[in-house]
């Protein structure tokens, strides 16, 4: 069965669907053709079958994609935007949805129900009826391309891998002390100087605006929204090294290739810095069709507290003026004057420490919502096991697959329930991660856990939260999913908690 677990799946005892030589993909409704083309590409890769796509009523044995009001999962017609129905019988495979996104997620379920490799056998799928829709609108993964740079082709490969789990947002951490990765035409030295380095002298690099637009379009075709982040006022050594005038003493610091945090800051109340912030936000907003623009705001240990508040309020207003909704790490909740609706991203522990809960609640009080990324469960840079070479251990204990699964976003910050939660996100920081293969090993299978938490129905209220989640059932479904990762060449950690099947080939 499928990851994330569908809301409702009823198997029936009819005959299976068998893909005949005459089978086609019959499409109806706006967006169905695009979804069908992506499905066709998957079938061609997995089963060596290239199906015709026809804008005609279906015949016996066809795969059908229908997008129309009322085709979603809700009997009363109140179709959730991303919901879908999937019916598999001897007669047909039929995906129905009210939106292209819903149909696309239906295709991802179908992919998981199809054998990962057909090996010359006729493709056979057991009969089932699925009604499915997400718990949260935002299911995210974050890739830190600042500590180590990943090329556009690598980011596309990453997008291909996350959509199988119905992850619909990719947060790109585009700037940090060690690198500036997005071309800003009005400040060219950001990439010329700031883009040339990475942690430990890593390869450096950046996205031109054309490359970034192409990435955004590639993601959008797959119903993924890119959320760009410019981290400020801290985590800004790459910018400060590029423009001496942004520094209080007018002297540019050397590029930084270490992994300390908290030592850099932009100035508050400085005219050149204000112009810089506005120019960067304006150009980035122009490149971003999505609603959200992330301003960072974390770990500003060198910014005087009053300056921090004034800085982030001003920057967030610039985001609003550019037509976007600001997002900030939860520390930004220290500022009382953020624009209404600003979204917070919570990254403290599943049991909040210090002022983290209070800062997170400030976003809710301001009419915004929260993205939940508790670092002791959802951070993918943390080691799987003590002693791992790859990964970091600053949360104090490893993040096993079980740990990444046994929590719930509505049980982290007291007073914050589903209505205040935009969704969940699993960030990958890349201080120790230098290749896309290592990215995948850190991300999979743990992203499957966070994706299921974001999509599948909330668990029962049982205490403790561990008891509310059925890890054994999840692990069995992850084992099946691994055959699809193997077929696609996606790397993953074969954690000891899962009874992995033998690898084929």
Q: Which residues are near ligand ACM by CB under 6 A?
A: 298-299, 329, 347
Q: How far is the CB of 347 from ligand ACM (least distance, A)?
A: 5
Cα-only R_g, the chain: 23
Q: How far is the CB of 298 from ligand ACM (least distance, A)?
A: 4
> How many Å apart are CA 202 and CA 269, to the nearest integer?
34
Q: Region of 398 please: left (phi>0), alpha (psi -120 to 50) or beta.
A: beta
Q: How far is the CB of 218 from ligand ACM (least distance, A)?
A: 26
DSSP single-letter state for residue 371: E
* DSSP run (H or E) holding 232: strand 225-232
Q: How far is the CB of 356 from ligand ACM (least distance, A)?
A: 11
> How many Å apart are CA 180 and CA 194, to the nearest integer?
5
> How many Å apart are CA 126 and CA 88, to the nearest integer?
7
β-bridge partners, 146: none
Judged by beta carbon, residue 149 or residue 347, the one nearer ligand ACM is: 347
Residue nearest to ligand ACM (CB): 298
Residue 505 Cα distances to 19, 438, 488, 489, 502, angstroms: 24, 21, 12, 11, 10
Judged by beta carbon, residue 51 or residue 424, the one nearer ligand ACM is: 424
> How many Å apart are CA 150 and CA 160, to the nearest integer?
15
Q: How far is the CB of 196 from ligand ACM (least distance, A)?
A: 23
Judged by beta carbon, residue 154 or residue 299, the one nearer ligand ACM is: 299
Provide the b/e sequence for 48-82 (b: ≥16 CB within 10 Å).
eeebebeeeebeebbbbbbbeeebbbeeeeebbeb
Judged by beta carbon, residue 298 or residue 452, the one nearer ligand ACM is: 298
Judged by beta carbon, residue 106 or residue 326, the one nearer ligand ACM is: 326
- Nearest of 286, 284, 170, 173 to residue 223 by alpha carbon: 170
Strands (E) located in 355-467: 370-372, 421-428
Question: 3-class secondary structure for 274-328?
Answer: HHHHHHHHHHHHHHCCCCEEEEECCCCCCCCHHHHHHHHHHHHHHHHHCCCEEEE
Q: How far is the CB of 330 from ligand ACM (least distance, A)?
A: 8
**Contact assessment for residue 390 and residue 441, using Cβ atoms and an 8 Å cutoff:** yes
Please give the distance of CA 464 from its chain centroid, rounded to a whole number. 27
**Residue whose structure tokens are 């490893």:** 398
**Contact assessment for residue 358 and residue 351, using Cβ atoms and an 8 Å cutoff:** no
Q: How far is the CB of 299 from ligand ACM (least distance, A)?
A: 5
> How many Å apart are CA 318 and CA 464, to the nearest integer?
43
**Residue whose structure tokens are 């304006």:** 282
**Residue whose structure tokens are 């030589």:** 21
Q: Active-site residue numbers?
A: 299
């Amino acid at each position: 069965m499928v990851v994330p677990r569908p809301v409702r799946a009823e198997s029936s005892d009819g005959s299976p669907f068998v893909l005949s030589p005459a089978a086609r993909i019959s499409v109806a409704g706006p967006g169905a053709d695009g979804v069908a083309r992506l499905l066709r590409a998957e079938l061609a890769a997995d089963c060596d079958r290239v199906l015709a796509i026809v804008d005609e009523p279906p015949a016996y044995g066809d795969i059908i994609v229908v997008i129309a009001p009322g085709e979603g999962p809700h009997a009363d017609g109140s179709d959730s935007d991303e919901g879908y129905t999937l019916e598999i019988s001897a007669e047909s495979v039929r995906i129905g949805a009210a939106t292209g996104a819903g149909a696309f997620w239906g295709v991802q379920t179908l992919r998981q129900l199809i054998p990962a490799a057909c090996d010359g056998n006729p493709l056979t799928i057991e009969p089932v009826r699925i009604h499915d829709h997400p718990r949260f609108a935002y299911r995210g993964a974050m890739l830190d391309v600042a500590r180590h740079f990943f090329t556009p082709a690598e980011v596309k490969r990453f997008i291909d891998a996350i959509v199988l789990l119905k992850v619909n947002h990719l947060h790109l951490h585009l700037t940090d002390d060690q690198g500036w990765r997005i071309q800003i035409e009005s400040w060219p030295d950001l990439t010329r100087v700031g883009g040339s380095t990475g942690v430990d002298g890593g390869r450096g690099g950046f996205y031109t605006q054309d490359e970034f637009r192409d990435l955004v379009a590639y993601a959008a075709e797959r119903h993924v929204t890119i959320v760009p982040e410019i981290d400020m006022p801290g985590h800004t050594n790459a910018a400060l090294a590029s423009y001496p005038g942004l520094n209080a003493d007018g002297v540019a610091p050397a590029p930084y290739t270490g992994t300390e945090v908290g030592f850099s800051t932009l100035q508050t109340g400085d005219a050149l810095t204000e112009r810089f912030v506005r120019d960067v936000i304006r150009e980035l907003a122009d490149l971003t069709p999505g609603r959200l623009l992330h301003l960072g705001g974390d770990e500003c240990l060198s910014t005087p507290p009053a300056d921090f508040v004034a800085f982030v309020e001003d920057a967030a207003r610039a985001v609003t003026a550019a037509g976007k909704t600001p997002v900030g790490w939860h520390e930004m909740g220290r500022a009382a004057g953020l624009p209404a609706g600003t979204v917070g991203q919570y990254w403290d522990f599943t049991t909040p420490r210090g002022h983290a809960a209070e800062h997170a609640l400030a976003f809710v009080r301001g009419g915004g919502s929260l993205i939940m990324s508790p670092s002791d469960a959802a951070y993918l840079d943390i080691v799987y096991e003590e002693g791992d070479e790859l990964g970091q251990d600053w949360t104090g204990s490893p993040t096993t697959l079980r740990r990444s699964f046994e929590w719930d976003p509505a049980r982290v910050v007291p007073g914050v329930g589903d209505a205040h939660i935009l969704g969940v996100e699993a960030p990958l920081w890349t201080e120790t991660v230098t290749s896309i293969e290592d990215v995948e090993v850190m991300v999979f299978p743990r992203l499957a856990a966070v994706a299921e938490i974001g999509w599948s129905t909330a668990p029962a209220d049982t205490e403790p939260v561990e008891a509310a989640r059925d890890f054994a059932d999840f692990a069995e479904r992850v084992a099946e999913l691994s055959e699809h990762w193997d077929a696609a060449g996606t790397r993953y950690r074969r954690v000891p908690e899962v009874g992995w099947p033998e690898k084929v080939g």
